[in-house]
Amino acid sequence: MRHKVYHWTKYLFIYSLLITKIATAFGQANHNLDSLFTTLSKNGDFNGCVIVAENGKPIYEKAFGLADFANNQQLDNQTMFELASVSKQFTAMAIMQLHQSHKLDYQDKVSKYLLQFPYDDITIDNLLHHTSGLPEFLGWNDKLIDTNKVNHDEDILASLIKNTPPLNFKPGEQLSYSNTNYVLLALIIEKVSGQTFDQYMDQHIFRPLGMAHTQVYHQRSSVPKIKDYAYGYIYSPSKGRFVINDSIPGNRYEYYFDGIAGPYGISSTTEDMLKWDQSLYTDRLVSKDEQAAAYVPALLKDGKTATLSGLPYGFGWLVLPEKEYTGKRYMHTGGYPGYMSVISRYPDKNKTIIILTNIWNVVNMYQLNNAVENIVFDRPFVMPTPIPYKKSVTLNPAQFKAIEGTYALDLAPRVKITITSDATQAYAQLTGQMKAEIYPESELDFFYTIVEARIKFVKENNGAINKLILFQNGQQLTASKEK
């Protein structure tokens, strides 16, 4: 008996040591996560909510900062945020559900469901994988869309039918991220299901998962308004402080594209997003076999794997390279003026990172996600490098006028940078992209806030400005002004 007692007490002692070791590891991870986010928050580089979970249970959950700066309303983990492009995985799930119920096929042509769709060879699979070649609608001007009203998904389709802008490439030849793809997917969901997009998402995804604080929501036009909602803010170099996203003139497209849903337009909380994450381990929405398609990248017509910035893209998910200690890694980020978000899943370990913020472009979300990932997997981590708050200088209207014009890239003349201005602000618009503010550091040096990039205008001996140099992602691209 004494031997048996010793035998069991030895194993109880070992078990106790194991439990203590696990608790210590969790405690250290929690401490490091809190140190990371508290430091960023104190420095003004993080304002938002975060959940880090293991096996569906939060090991770290916290809110930092304000939902409404003007009224000093605090954030909490029930505060709803615009998810931006993280919305795409919900749109893709709806398509997967309709596929599983044999109501559509991935290889069906879009024109089968959207009558008069003017591009014959684009399939549903092309839309899901961004291999359609369709141009980005967010860069459209008043020649392609009515900028004096709130537009909806059907208005995007109507413009494609009426104007039929050229494809960027033939379907299946390349991968180029375009929100237009997921607008059309939302319209297909409506056509096939007989429900509006918001009705379908609520009935077939949000309510079944108990996501009571998630909905298709148009911040400026939806009624009623969400009370516990995070308003988006952007740092203004001209004012030297954060301002609400709607107050930036270059963001006016947020008004006339406010009715769009599918590529963005879903609002949620960190806690609801964890419910979504955990449902993906089950067959509550689709079977596991059906869901597996979401993580399979497309093959291009030349047989190569389609990638986005070198990473395979599934159905609303980036497929990151596996690591020995993480296993599989799926993630997606979202960015829309005033909002940045990320969800990262590690299904082999059942670990999850969910971060929702309502301040724009203050810290690189990929760097932040990498730091959190390293903490979660007990690896050394590096604090993300904050994007510096720059203060702009004041120029007179004549100085703004001097830089105006259309500049064609020397290496790709079809790609143009159009520079416009008003009395106090300059704007740059790259072909097919949105117009963005650029802020002067000097008469000839300007910087962006929506991306880490800057423009240097080149003044010739006669005082004319006929060239610019775009500095971005370690590259220098020269563009010449068109006569």
Active site residues: 85
283 vs 33, 44, 67, 127, 349, CA distance in Å? Answer: 32, 41, 35, 24, 18
Residue 171, preceding peptide bond in cis (omega within 30° of 0) = no
The answer to whether 475 touches 409, Cβ cutoff 8 Å, is: no
Which one-letter DSSP state was computed for residue 206?
I
**Per-residue tokens: 350:** 């059942």
CA terminus-to-terminus distance, the chain: 99
Q: Helix 153-163 to helix 179-193 angle, to the nearest 10 degrees?
A: 110
- What is the C-alpha to C-alpha distance for residues 58 and 229, in angstroms, rounded to an integer? 22
228 vs 66, 211, 448, CA distance in Å? Answer: 11, 15, 31
Q: Which of 72, 45, 44, 74 is nearest to 62 (CA)?
A: 74
Q: Quick one: which H or E segment has residue 174? A: none
Q: Going by DSSP bridges, is the β-strand pair 307-308/233-236 parallel, antiparallel, or unpaired? A: unpaired
**Per-residue tokens: 421:** 């201005």
- DSSP SS3 for 291: helix
The answer to whether 228 touches 76, Cβ cutoff 8 Å, is: yes
Which one-letter DSSP state was computed for residue 202?
I
Which distant-in-sequence residues (6+ apart) come within 8 Å of 426 by Cβ? Answer: 400, 403, 419, 420, 437, 438, 439, 440, 446
- What is the C-alpha to C-alpha distance for residues 67 and 357, in angstroms, rounded to an integer? 10
The DSSP bridge partners found for residue 405 are: 419
**Per-residue tokens: 252:** 């006016």
**Backbone angle region of 145, left / alpha / beta, with phi > 0 → left and psi within -120 to 50 → alpha:** beta
